[in-house]
Amino acid sequence: MKKKIIFISGFTGGKRDIFLAKRILKNYNLIYFKYNTFLTQSVEEIGKELRIFIKKLKLNKKEKINLIGLSAGGIIALYYAKFLDTEKLIDKIITIHSPINGTYFVGLFPKKFKGLRQMKLNSDFIKRLSKNKTKINQINFWNYIDLLVPGKSAKGENPIRDYVPHLPIAYWPPIYYKIKKILN
């Protein structure tokens, strides 16, 4: 049986984001988690949706899954793992250019983008997320020159630096080849 990976897009992302990942990670069962990627809901609400989604997969007791989160999708994955994964179903979390330490960019958006604005640099949500530690293996792809998640904003517990700007990350093959190595 192929190991399951749940793929979580970022802000305004969609199922198209999984296309390249599916081609490179073909030995895995890549499952797209569909949610309101405009992030008008809070991350907590989306995390609960992810929990229901995972329960519907009906995993056997020994089966573990991996989460790949693109940008804001990585924050949703981390929130789920740190606060909602009471069954301990997650093996690894891989975040790609996710604002783990917050970003000032989201302050440019109106308040209706509730989930997005929670990712603001030094927000209460980001502080709470970084305080709550998990034993789950985390790998974080990050880049100093990313304009949307700049500097060390995406640098987490096991950082892997890449040289890709933020917007084309879903379509950058080297990242998925590195992920394939990590998962093997």
Between 164 and 8, the more confident residue is 8
Split at pLDDT 50, 70, 90, the class of 165 is confident
CA 70 to CA 109: how far, in whole Å? 19
In a domain, 180, yes or no: no
In a domain, 184, yes or no: no
In a domain, 111, yes or no: yes
In a domain, 178, yes or no: no
Around 148, how many Cα atoms within 13 Å sit in the side-chain half-sphere?
19
In a domain, 176, yes or no: no
CA 128 to CA 162: how far, in whole Å? 27
Model confidence over 52-70: pLDDT tens digits? Answer: 999 999 888 889 999 999 9
Residue by residue, DSSP assigns 3-29 as PEEEEE--TT--GGGGHHHHHHTTTSE
Residue 125 confidence (pLDDT): 97
Per-chain mean pLDDT for the chain: 93
How many structural domains does the chain have? 1
Please say if the pLDDT value at position 1 is more than 80: no
Percent of the chain with pLDDT over 70: 100
Q: Which domain holds residue 40?
A: 4-171
Residue 96 confidence (pLDDT): 96
In a domain, 125, yes or no: yes
Supply the pTM of this predicted model: 0.95
CA 184 to CA 19: how far, in whole Å? 20
Under a CB-based contact definition with an 8 Å cutoff, are residues 99 and 149 in contact? yes
In a domain, 182, yes or no: no
In a domain, 132, yes or no: yes
CATH code, 70: 3.40.50.1820
Model confidence over 56-114: pLDDT tens digits? Answer: 998 888 899 999 999 999 999 999 999 999 889 999 999 999 999 999 999 899 999 99
CA 113 to CA 45: how far, in whole Å? 13
Lowest mean pLDDT among 2-16, 145-159, 168-182: 145-159
